[in-house]
Amino acid sequence: MGTANWIAPQALSDTGIRRGVLEELAVKTLFLGGEMSLVDLADRMCLSLVAVEEIFTFLRREQLCEVKGMAVGSHRIAISAHGKSRAAELLNLNRYVGPAPVSLADYTARVNAQSVQLLAIQPSDLQRAFQHLVLPEATLSRLGAAVVSGTSIFMYGPSGTGKTTIGSSIPTIYNDTVLVPYAVEVDNQIITVYDPGVHHAVEQSADDGDDRRWIRCERPRVIAGGELSSEMLELQFNAATRFCIAPLQMKANNGVLLLDDFGRQRMRPDELLNRWMTPLDRRMDFLSLPGGKKFEIPFDLFLVFSTNLNPNDLADEAFLRRVPNKIKIGYATPEQFIEIFRRLCERRRLPYNAGLPEQLVEYITEELKQPLSQCYARDLLDQIVWAARYQGVEPRLTPDTLEQACQSYFLSHNEL
């Protein structure tokens, strides 16, 4: 299903943004864009033509633009000498040029309307999202219940058991789209939100009545690993452009934020947990503008903690209570490992002799005395493919090539 677009505001007073912010944005746009029609200016600012005509009246009255003629029923304008001086002043204060921002009130209302807690998730959605994985039915059921909660989940277990893959696949459970603003205005400060790196825009037929300040996207998927720092959870003010970039959790609103390898980030676990104690409780977060003013935004995301460390060593009872879903992802059983191996061979078009996966399972468990990490199947097949590529031959799965792969991969080795 999809979320209906909001209707584009016609009058400037309906945008929820102070007129001066939009007029100044138009001056900068005209200065950098050169001569353009009012239709072009409306497209650049993602506003209605009626709203841009209001701005044009102001620009002409203040002698910030010059009329160069008419084009397809609208004026063609260019920046005036006075306008150039004004644009230089404005760009020195704030270099943001692009779609007009939405108001904080509109942003909050839209995020709440698209909440991850309002979705109807069915078992078929889980089966579709995780069809590429081999997971026990009990794990699927617990994941489904966690996603329905729209709150948070703590996935823990040994390394190599697929926690990261599971976490990064959670957004594919959702089968709808959301609207993400290009930017939000707070107290005359512009905060960019849309990020092509995490927001995947979807193709759709344009409607003249749509508010183009919002872009339709798949529900966001933001992944942060060991590089996570405390600064990434706050507004990031760019000294060169002089506008702010939204923090990770704001970009992830209405979607999923995966903290991978939790406990190994640049910021201490207790620092992170203290930062998010209140947001997890109230589902609201507080951010600070460069001048120090605080404001509130929704904290509407499905938060996934993934770790191979002991959760009790990372968080106290008060925090763990605020993460209501906890799932241990254990090693594969022999049957699951063989099925994973079979599927991977099928995807890579690698035929194999009957009984070879069973021999591999016996070797890992009996000879190496190691549990069946799900990643072993993929990693060993990678070794076979790399060796074949180096030798300039087609990869083949035989007892010999598998033995060579094991020799390269495992620290200790006895012959298969």
Question: What's the rounded Cα separation, in Å, for the pair 50 and 11?
Answer: 7
The residue written with tokens 């070797």 in the block is 363
Question: What's the rounded Cα separation, in Å, for the pair 259 and 278?
Answer: 18
Q: Give the dihedral of Cα atoms 141, 146, 149, 154; nearest 10 deg.
A: 170
- Residues paired with 184 in a beta bridge: 102, 191
Helix (H, G, I), strand (E, B) or coil at 100: coil
Question: What's the rounded Cα separation, in Å, for the pair 303 and 273?
Answer: 12
Stated pTM of the model: 0.90
Q: What tokens appear for 32 in the block?
A: 């950098």
Contacts of 322 (CB under 8 A, 6+ apart): 152, 277, 280, 281
Residue 179 phi, psi dihedral angles, 5° rounding? -100, 130
Contacts of 204 (CB under 8 A, 6+ apart): 216
Q: How many CA atoms within 13 Å lie on the side-chain side of 109?
A: 7
Q: Where are the alpha helices (DSSP H) in 315-396?
A: 317-322, 334-347, 356-362, 375-391
pLDDT in tens, the chain (416 residues): 444 457 889 999 999 999 999 999 999 999 999 999 999 999 999 999 999 999 999 999 999 999 999 877 789 999 999 999 999 999 999 999 999 999 999 999 999 999 999 999 999 999 999 999 999 999 999 999 999 999 999 999 999 999 999 999 999 999 999 999 999 999 999 999 999 999 999 987 666 678 999 999 999 999 998 788 889 999 999 888 889 999 999 999 999 999 998 888 777 888 888 888 889 989 999 999 998 999 999 999 999 999 998 888 888 888 888 899 999 999 999 999 999 999 999 999 998 888 999 999 999 999 999 999 999 999 999 999 999 999 999 999 999 999 999 999 998 655 55
Q: What tokens appear for 97 in the block?
A: 């040029």
117 close to 266: Cβ distance less than 8 angstroms: no
- Domains of the chain (ranges, CATH numbers): 18-99 (1.10.10.10), 106-328 (3.40.50.300), 334-409 (1.10.8)
Residue 397 phi, psi dihedral angles, 5° rounding? -100, 105
Q: What tokens appear for 394 in the block?
A: 């087609």
Residues 32-55: pLDDT tens digits? 999 999 999 999 999 999 999 999
Cα 70 from chain centre: 43
Contacts of 400 (CB under 8 A, 6+ apart): none
